[in-house]
Amino acid sequence: MTAMILVHPPVAKACEPPAGITKLAGFLEANGVNCTLIDANLEGMFHILRSPVEAHDTWTKRAARNCVRNLKALHEWSIYKNLDRYSRAVMDLNRIIATHGLKTGAQLSLSDYRHKNLSPLKSDDLLWSAEHPEADPYHSFFSGRLPGIAEADTDGVVGFSLNYLSQALTTFSMIGYMRRELPGLRLVLGGGLVTSWCRRQGLRNKLAGLVDDVVSGPGEYTLLRILGKNLTVSGETAPQFSGLRTGEYLSPGLILPYAASSGCYWGRCSFCPEQAEGAGYHPVAPELAVTHLRRLEAASKPALFHLADNAVSPAFMESIIRERSARGASAAGEKSGVTPWYGFARITPHLSDPDFCAALAASGCVMLKLGVESADQDVLDSMRKGHDIETARLVLAALKGAGISTYVYLIFGTPQERETSARATLGFVTQESGHIDFLNLALFNLPIGSAEADLLETRPFFGGDLSLYTDFVHPLGWDRRRVRQFVEREFSRHPAVQKILRKQPPFFTSNHAPLFAVKERCT
C-alpha cells in the first residue's frame, strides 16, 4: 500500500491533536494512502520535560521536582476548577521548557519559540537553521526520533505541516537534518504559513534544493499526485487521528479539532489575512459535517470538540442543534451525552436570540470566540466587519444568559481608529464586563497585499523578507507607539478589564478557556 509520513513540528500548544495533518490523513487514507502521523511538537515537549534539568534556582528546582505531578494534574478535570492551581502547574512546566531553550539561545515556552539571533521572518535565518540543525533546541529530540521514521514502511515521502511562526525555525532544522542525514527521502513542505508565504512572499524560489515540493493551499490533491495515486474518494472526509499519542495531550480528556470549512463564509474584513490571500470559502455540507462529528464522537469519546473554522457558519450551528436535539440533548448539554464544543463565530443577529442561544447551549456549545474588534461603529463599518455594536451587546447578553462563555477579541490601532474610538471600546468592555469571560487584545497589523495597504503610506515592519505585514503611517496620527501605550497603561489597567484578563489561562489561552467553562457547567 502507498504510504507517507506527516509531521507536525514544534512549537505549538500541545493540548490537542494538530488539525492540519489529521485532516490530510483523513483524505489520504480514504484514497488508499497509509499515513504515519508524528506530532513532533507533543513528543518534543515530553522529551524536554523528561530530560535532566539544569536547575540553579529555587523555582526551576521546584518545577523539576513537581514535573510529573503537574503533568498528571493537567490531565485531570479538578485542576480546571481552580485557576491558581492550574496557573502554578502550567508556569512550572513552562519553566522547564524555558530553561532548556536558554542553552541554545532560544526563548522557548509552551506556546512559542523565539530566538535571540534568528528570526522566522527571515529566509536567511530559516536556511541557516536548516544548515545547523544541531543548534536547534529540539535537536536532541529529533536526532533520536527522525532516523527511526526513515526505516518505517513508507514510500519515502515525508510531509511537514508548518502553520505558525513558532514552528518555522525548528521545521527548517528538522528538514535540514533529514536532508543531510537521511538522503533519499522526498521532503514536502506545506501548511497555512507556507501557503501565506507562497502567495505573498514568493517563498518557493527561496527553498530551491532544500525541499522537493512546496505545497501552497490545501495539500490533499498535491500529495496524491506526488504519491502517484489516483483520486478515488473526492468528497469531504473526516480527520484521522490514529497513531497519535492522544492520551498525552495537556488536557483532561481528548480535545478533537474539526473544521467544517476552509476560508471564511464572510471573507470581507479588511484586516483579515484570509481576505488578503483570496483563499476562497470551501464548506463541508452541514449535514455531512455533523455526521463526521458523530462518528468521531463514537470512535474517540472526546471530552471536547474544537470547531476550528475561521467562523462557524449559522448553517452549521443549526445542523448541530438539529442533530443533537434529535438525540435528546437537554439544556444540561454535556450531561446528556453530547460532547461539548467551542469555536469562533461572527456577531450575527441569530446569536442575539435567547432561544437560539439556549438551543446552542443544549447542543453542547460551552464557549464562543467573537471578533467584536471595536465599539466605534464607524471603525467597524470601515473594517467591513458586517456587524453593529448594539447587536454585539445583545449577543453577549444572550450567550451569557444561555450559559455560554464568551471570548471577545479586540483590535486597536486600525487605520480608521482614533483615540476616542479606543476609549469607546474601553467603555463598551466596562459596561459589558459581566457578559465577557475572556479577552484577547491585539494591535492591528496591516497585511501586505491588502486593499488598505494600497491606500496608506507603508514602510517595512519587522525587518524580515517573509513578513506578512507592513508598518504604516497612521492617517489620523494614532500611531503604534501611542496605541501600545493606551492598551498597556490605560485599557489593561482598568479594574473591570483586569478582572477579565486575570481569568486568562496562561500560554493555552483560548484552547484551555473552554475547559474552565465546561467545568463551570458541570458543577
> Applying CB under 6 A, which residues contact ligand SF4?
264, 266-269, 272, 274-275, 310-311, 346, 371
Comparing CB distances to ligand SF4, the nearer of 253 and 447 is: 447
Buried b (16+ CB within 10 A) or exposed e, 182-211: beebebbbbbbbbbbbbbbbebbebbeebb
Instruction: Annotate 184-225 with DSSP letters as a single string.
Output: T-EEEEESHHHHHHHHHH-HHHHTBTTBSEE--S--HHHHHH
Comparing CB distances to ligand SF4, the nearer of 43 and 452 is: 452
246/258 Cα distance (integer angstroms)? 15
What are the residues facing 343 on neighbouring strands?
307, 368
**Contacts of residue 273, Cβ cutoff 8 Å, sequence gap at least 6:** 196, 447, 468
What are the residues facing 255 on neighbouring strands?
304
Comparing CB distances to ligand SF4, the nearer of 22 and 310 is: 310
Comparing CB distances to ligand SF4, the nearer of 138 and 444 is: 444
Comparing CB distances to ligand SF4, the nearer of 147 and 386 is: 386
Task: Count each helix (H run) and each strand (E run) in the chain, helices first.
Answer: 22, 18
Looking only at the bridges linking them, the beta strands covering 255-258 and 261-262 are unpaired
Cβ atoms of 24 and 239 closer than 8 Å: no
Instruction: Annotate 486-513 with DSSP letters as a single string.
Output: IIIIIITTSHHHHHHHTTSPTTTHHHHH
Cβ atoms of 452 and 415 closer than 8 Å: yes
244/36 Cα distance (integer angstroms)? 9
Comparing CB distances to ligand SF4, the nearer of 275 and 406 is: 275
Task: For residue 371, give the 3-state DSSP assignment.
Answer: strand
Smallest distance, Å, CB 355 to ligand SF4? 24
Comparing CB distances to ligand SF4, the nearer of 6 and 264 is: 264
Cβ atoms of 430 and 490 closer than 8 Å: no
Smallest distance, Å, CB 411 to ligand SF4? 9
Comparing CB distances to ligand SF4, the nearer of 99 and 270 is: 270
Residue linked to cell 471564511: 264
Smallest distance, Å, CB 274 to ligand SF4? 5
Torsion of CA 181, 182, 187, 192, to 10 degrees: -50
Smallest distance, Å, CB 289 to ligand SF4? 18
**Comparing C-alpha atoms, which of 108, 124, 64, 239 is closest to residue 507?**
108
Comparing CB distances to ligand SF4, the nearer of 257 and 371 is: 371
Smallest distance, Å, CB 443 to ligand SF4? 15
184/178 Cα distance (integer angstroms)? 9
Smallest distance, Å, CB 309 to ligand SF4? 9
H/E stretch holding 152: none
Comparing CB distances to ligand SF4, the nearer of 310 and 450 is: 310
